Amino acid sequence: MATPTHEYTTTTPEVPDGVETKPIPNDIVPYTYLNRLTPPVGTSFFQKETITIFDNQQISVKGLHLETLTWRTDVYKYATGARPDKPDFKKNGGEIYIILVHAGTGRAPDVLPFFELTKTVKVPSSIIPVKQYPASNSGTPSGSDLAYRIDYLNAMAMFKDGGHSSFPFDASYQEDFVRHQAEQTGLERTDGVEFGVVPRLPFHAIFTYPIIGLSVFKCLDPSAFPATFTFRAGAGWPGSSRHGSITKDVSISFDFAP
């Protein structure tokens, strides 16, 4: 029998301007979802795009079907502190932030003990991994489930009026979610981030889960763009012959025209 995941309501409550919304799981009370990552209209040196990394793609090894995966991410790009189209960006205190908000669904048809479902994002040396949310071992136990919270806030000095004036912007994101009979992992590496789900189910169970996570990266050199991000999804038993993966390179650009 499939492990239950979030069952989404069909209505979304009214929210303030500038706050992005998503369907609300009815199995989490209280539930928090606040996405304030998009600055006001007219902000300079900000871009957002949505990338479909994998669309209903299978992970298999030696004829063994390990997972069917749909993975997409919203990419938020900010140039802060100094104009990226002017010299001495780093010297003047400039920073570029790349925030990835991950979503999608995975389905593993036959999980056993020590089965892992991992996602990694590898970046070039010009991109600095900052944080993966939520972190490993951050869940709050509730019976056989674990409750998690993503809580991100970054006070940014953004630009407007074609880059001629600045204003403060608090980029923030909060989300509560529950892993049913599973554990969420998340960590930073020198060349990227990794996150995933480890099921805690009986033998030969079907496991369906929503992909949830937020990755933060930083860059100090505007000339690093476009930058190639390598997305990898793995399923199975790490270190064994029954572990498969799929990989996709994505070029992320940033147009610094004000």
**What is the domain range of residue 219?**
33-252
* Res 116 pLDDT > 50: yes
Within a domain: residue 174?
yes
Among the listed ranges 41-55, 63-77, 176-190, 198-212, which one has the minimum average pLDDT value? 198-212
Tokens of 125: 């040396």
- What percentage of the chain exceeds 90 in pLDDT? 75
Within a domain: residue 138?
yes
Q: DSSP string covering 89-130, please?
A: TTTTT-EEEEEEEEEEEEEEEEE-TT-EEEEEEE--TTSEEE
Within a domain: residue 42?
yes
Higher-scoring residue by pLDDT: 213, 19: 213
Higher-scoring residue by pLDDT: 133, 203: 133
Within a domain: residue 245?
yes
Within a domain: residue 39?
yes
Contacts of 51 (CB under 8 A, 6+ apart): 72, 73, 75, 250
According to the model, what pLDDT value does residue 34 have? 95
Tell me the average pLDDT of the chain: 89
Within a domain: residue 143?
yes
Domain count, the chain: 1
C-alpha span between 257 and 44 (Å, rounded): 8
108 and 198 in contact (C-beta within 8 Å)? no
Within a domain: residue 244?
yes
Q: pTM, whole model, 2 decimals?
A: 0.88
According to the model, what pLDDT value does residue 203 have? 67
C-alpha span between 193 and 231 (Å, rounded): 10
Within a domain: residue 195?
yes
39-62 mean pLDDT:
97
pLDDT band at 212 (very low <50, low <70, confident <90, very high): very high
